Structure 1
Amino acid sequence: MNLDFVNNPYSDIIQLLIYRENLNVLNNGDQFFAEPLVFAYFNNKKNNLFPKAVLKEILQSYFFKKEPLKIKYSFNQNGVAYIPKLGYFKEREITPFEPILMLEDFEVLKEIHPLLKKYFVEFYKGHIVNNSPAFKSVWKEHYDELKEAILTIKIYLPEFYDELKFANKKIYLHDNPKILNFTTIETLGMLYFYVVGKKNLVYFIEELIHQGSHNYLYYIIHNKRDFFKIDVENLVMRDFNNKDWDYRTIYGAFHGLFTVKQRVKCFDKLLSQNVFSGPYKHELLGRLADQFSRFRTGLELLDLNDVFTPKGVQFYEELDSNCYAILEKYKSLKNEFDLSNRDLDFRYKDFCELNPFETFQKKDEFNYYQF
């Protein structure tokens, strides 16, 4: 299912909300209406966490009439104010001390705006265990590998790259692995990745596919009534599939199916083109094997006609059958690797403890991994 890449289904909503705020801003197409901080402002507004002046601060670069720079509410805990398109400012200064950093079609954030702070929580198996964790930006240490990951996707996965750049605008890298990678429609267009260690190329590729596809799906099913008959954002899977462990919402589980399908589809294309060899191929195959346990985790047990509209049933069945077909191609991987030490996220270092690269290498030399 593809989108018209010219049409942003949220632009009318944002335009109306901006109009109600009586701000004279320049309509700069989807670039303006896809600004994640604008989404964050209106979603924070319901809790009265920030004054209206914050919106004016973050939109200063879009004003018809340029005014002297005004920053009061945009300074984060590090004393830095990030203003979209303008840069990063210290208190009582009107000249940015750091410029905007673009990487191909994406902006890499060096600091976060206070509007985004509340979304950083430590989360484990359905529960928030720390709602105010420590973290810091690590963009400098990992920029080069992130760039290589984006260029790999752009070259070898051009169809997905179009989806990625349509729905995703900004990337923030931080150092706390307990803040699991996430997206949220409340900051639509933002990608948040933790980074540990070095040699994260394949990790970045997977997470750009994984998290980037969450944001893309927000656009595909923005009108949920077209796809679902029930309140899938609030109804919990365990009440429908009798699995006591399943704390996910039906909406969350559907997102899970979509992102697994996206990953196996892209992994298959990378493997078919022999993009990687050595440890990178080892890691990619491990990450592909990890998808078996993430596929058909409960949605298949639901009465589809009770949950989905006919359009939704068609979309679900398309995702399920496409994912199954690709995994069937790689079914020998299901029992090839030992993934018993994987907790929530796949970590290549942990994977190698039970699946040594040397063992893989010997087999690969004899073209064992042919699919």
Structure 2
Amino acid sequence: MNYYANFEEHLGAVVDSVKKMLYARHKDIFQRLDFYNDDIYLEPLLYTYLQQQDNKWLDSIIYGYEQSRKPLIAVFPNSNGLIYLPNTGYLRTSFTGSSLMLRTTGNTMTLLDGENEIPFTFEPILHSEHGIEIVTDHHPLLMNVFTEQGNHPEDIHVSGLHLQHLASFNKGMHIIRQLNPDHFGLLLKNLKKVMLFTATQQNSFSVLSAHNMIFLHVNPWDDEIFFADHISHEGAHVTYFTLTYETKQQLFTINYNTPLGDLVGNPGHYPSVYLFFHGMFTFMEITKTLQGCIDLTGLTTMQQHDVKGRFIFHMQRFKLSLDMFAELNLFKEEGAAWYALFLAQYEAFEQQYNSLLPLYNLTGQPYDFNSKVFAEINS
């Protein structure tokens, strides 16, 4: 199965679906947006917009993509007074309300609160060295992806984190390009935005309701190994959402949304069959990168141990998932082909995994591997 070769077809299917959903809500949408510019329809906030029913958000999301901009639209500052306009930039204000009007005359933008002009400073969009946008503050429409996990809005922090972590993010991407170039190529096609955050109740994640974007929970000590791991992980979720967007019902003999816990006698403990299956694709791409890191030159002694700990951590979870699905007999032909691919990748690294396993203690690890916990136990 060479999923790298036909990725463009799957990506096109996702784009076509977004176009259809936008047209169903806005019959004039292709008078405003270039129908043939598929990059527009990879905008993560369009997916978020389509998951909710309030049309008020559309103008500000597509402002930077429109062929001819509306002269007056509503815009929505976040709690820091920052207005994010995709494909345009940020308007930083001290405004504490929930909405303003943006008037555009030629290349001049004016913010209005009623008839009063609101001063702002313009901040350009930030990109990584490889062209992926780093979203530097939160957006009101994205708050639900955090709060639905039990976070309070005041516990979610995004602003300024890129200043500390961008260099390590770029190094992590360089590692993926060097050690897993095929998946790196898919990431450049599919991964459009990254948000770095801290929160009390949430790990790194990606969601279909903000497709083509990943959210990375960072700690002060996280380095390029962390980013190589987590970009591979969450980026692979984005990739697999695309690869199976049209065919996920063809993977299993049961509905793909069936909770896995119901099938293994542990209701409420696991996500859907499809999302758990997703995990094996991520483990495949993560372990390719981390296994290559084991012999990577230029790492500190601590990083060398960290890489091995992460490799063991993900291989353990990889094996758990493989064993669980092996007992369930749920696959249609396509699902069986994917499972065979996952199993072959695990077996390619199994001997090395078994040789490293006795050397490290992974006790106390949370859901996402934590370098600080690992170093304290294995010092």
Q: Same fold (TM over 0.5)?
A: yes
Instruction: Return the letter of the residue paired with 2:84.
Output: Y
SS in 1 for 2:281: helix
Partner of 1:295: 318
1:102 aligns with 2:138: no
1:298–1:237: structure 2 CA closer, same or farther, 3 Å change rule?
farther
Q: 1:119 aligns with which of 142, 145, 163?
A: 145
Partner of 1:62: 65
Partner of 1:359: none
Q: 2:299 aligns with which of 264, 268, 276?
A: 276
Cα offsets for 1:151-198 (capped at 9, x unmatched): 232334322211212221101111225321110011101111111123
1:32 aligns with 2:35: no
Cα offsets for 1:127-172 (capped at 9, x unmatched): x444545122211221221122122323343222112122211011
1:202-241 mapped onto 2 (5 Å cutoff): 202-223=225-246, 224-233=248-257, 235-241=258-264
Contact 1:139 1:174 in 2 (8 A): no
1:42–1:102: structure 2 CA closer, same or farther, 3 Å change rule?
same
Query: What's the offset of the Cα at 1:246?
Result: 3.9
Query: What's the offset of the Cα at 1:29?
Result: 2.3
Partner of 1:42: 50
Query: What's the offset of the Cα at 1:274?
Result: 3.9
| Residues matched between the structures, number | 344
Contact 1:87 1:96 in 2 (8 A): no
1:257–1:155: structure 2 CA closer, same or farther, 3 Å change rule?
closer
Q: 1:322 aligns with which of 338, 342, 345?
A: 345
SS in 1 for 2:51: helix
Instruction: Return the letter of the residue paired with 1:102.
Output: H
Q: Which moved more, 1:222-231 or 1:19-28?
A: 19-28
Contact 1:241 1:302 in 2 (8 A): no
Query: What's the offset of the Cα at 1:257?
Result: 1.4
Contact 1:177 1:196 in 2 (8 A): no
Partner of 1:136: 157
Contact 2:151 2:201 in 1 (8 A): no
1:305–1:339: structure 2 CA closer, same or farther, 3 Å change rule?
closer
Instruction: Return the letter of the residue paired with 1:155.
Output: Q
Contact 2:315 2:346 in 1 (8 A): no
1:168–1:248: structure 2 CA closer, same or farther, 3 Å change rule?
same
1:121–1:333: structure 2 CA closer, same or farther, 3 Å change rule?
farther
Contact 2:270 2:276 in 1 (8 A): no
Distance in 2 (CA, whole Å) between partners of 1:328 and 1:312 is 26
SS in 2 for 1:193: strand
Normalising by structure 1, we get a TM-score of: 0.85
Cα offsets for 1:107-139 (capped at 9, x unmatched): 0001222111100148xxxxx444545122211
1:320–1:242: structure 2 CA closer, same or farther, 3 Å change rule?
farther
Contact 1:135 1:174 in 2 (8 A): yes
Contact 2:156 2:200 in 1 (8 A): no
Partner of 2:106: none
1:59–1:191: structure 2 CA closer, same or farther, 3 Å change rule?
same
Partner of 2:6: 4
Instruction: Return the letter of the residue paired with 1:163.
Output: L
Partner of 1:16: 20
Distance in 2 (CA, whole Å) between partners of 1:69 and 1:155 is 47
Distance in 1 (CA, whole Å) between partners of 2:41 and 2:314 is 34
1:157–1:77: structure 2 CA closer, same or farther, 3 Å change rule?
same
Q: Cα RMSD over matched residues?
A: 2.4
**Structure 2 segments unaligned to the other structure (5+ residues):** 101-109, 112-119
Partner of 1:368: none
SS in 1 for 2:23: helix
Cα offsets for 1:219-253 (capped at 9, x unmatched): 111121232222122x2223223356842321121
Distance in 1 (CA, whole Å) between partners of 2:252 and 2:66 is 39
1:66–1:239: structure 2 CA closer, same or farther, 3 Å change rule?
closer
SS in 1 for 2:156: coil
Instruction: Return the letter of the residue paired with 1:25.
Output: L
- Percent identity (aligned): 23
Contact 2:236 2:282 in 1 (8 A): yes
Distance in 2 (CA, whole Å) between partners of 1:158 and 1:185 is 24
